[in-house]
Amino acid sequence: TVTVEARELTRIYGGREAVRDVSFTLNKGEVLGFLGPNGAGKSTSMKMLTGNLAPSKGSVKICGIDMIENPKEAKALIGYLPEQPPLYRELTVDEFLAIAARLHRVSGSHVKKAVRIAKERCGLTEMGGRLIENLSKGYQQRVGIAQAIIHNPMVVILDEPTVGLDPIQIRDIRNLIKELGGEHSVILSTHILPEVEMVCDRVQIIHKGQMVFNGSIDILKQQR
């Protein structure tokens, strides 16, 4: 099943093309690496895929639902961790995840269960009562991933989720992302090639706003 279909996504900022004609499809349960150096157009692409930025041209469909025609329905199928995670640092993990669940329209009677499952999946079961501001960066990023999966979305989109973490935290977050692949389609935006090789099934390389490679990790390795 196709969960994400991007067609000719293009974004122009002030006359300059930041992203040009990005097209791809993603299947259920796949982990796709979206690889490129800083400024290549990754965040711009992620924002268009999640409906947070209007494309200048092109379209996004999530499980067949058009993002421009039916934004509410399409967005409900996506979990998103932006590069700057929207954490409310003065809240506890439980309080924040409960709010995230409500924002994602999890019904009142299911919020507690959604929070418990998301914590379990992200290794946060013991952390529910802790203030987010008192957590390490690695645990804060787990909370960022937990809020992205709180409504059990079809598609999870993570923008540079390991930036600024130490090596142990990076390893743990990568393992966590890999595990998400079983249940969700995942798009991992990153500038780190080994991260893609470790975590992803397939990779797309974006360079100066355009896709320059799309294929399996094995083919990528052979080309090196």
Which residue shows structure tokens 């501001």? 133
What's the min distance (Å) between Cβ of 220 and ligand ADP?
Answer: 18
Binding site for ligand ADP (CB under 6 A): 13-14, 18, 36, 38-44, 106, 110, 113-114, 117-118, 121, 149-152, 183
What's the min distance (Å) between Cβ of 222 and ligand ADP?
Answer: 25
Sequence-distant (≥ 6) Cβ neighbours of residue 141 within 8 angstroms: 85, 161, 162, 165, 169, 173
Closest to ligand ADP by CB, 7 or 116: 116
Closest to ligand ADP by CB, 43 or 185: 43
CA distance 196 to 173: 13
Closest to ligand ADP by CB, 151 or 174: 151
Q: List the one residue out of 76, 44, 71 whose CA is nearest residue 189.
A: 44
DSSP element (H, E) containing 143 = helix 137-149
What's the min distance (Å) between Cβ of 12 and ligand ADP?
Answer: 9
What's the min distance (Å) between Cβ of 105 and ligand ADP?
Answer: 9
Closest to ligand ADP by CB, 133 or 213: 213
What's the min distance (Å) between Cβ of 147 and ligand ADP?
Answer: 11
Closest to ligand ADP by CB, 118 or 170: 118
DSSP annotation of 92 reads B
CA 20 to chain centre: 20
Q: Where are the beta strands (DSSP E) in the chain?
A: 2-13, 16-27, 31-35, 57-62, 65-66, 78-81, 155-159, 185-190, 202-207, 210-216
Tokens of 173: 């977050």
Closest to ligand ADP by CB, 69 or 85: 85
How buried is residue 183: exposed, middle or buried, by Cβ count under 10 Å (0-12/13-18/19+)?
Answer: middle
What's the min distance (Å) between Cβ of 174 and ligand ADP?
Answer: 19
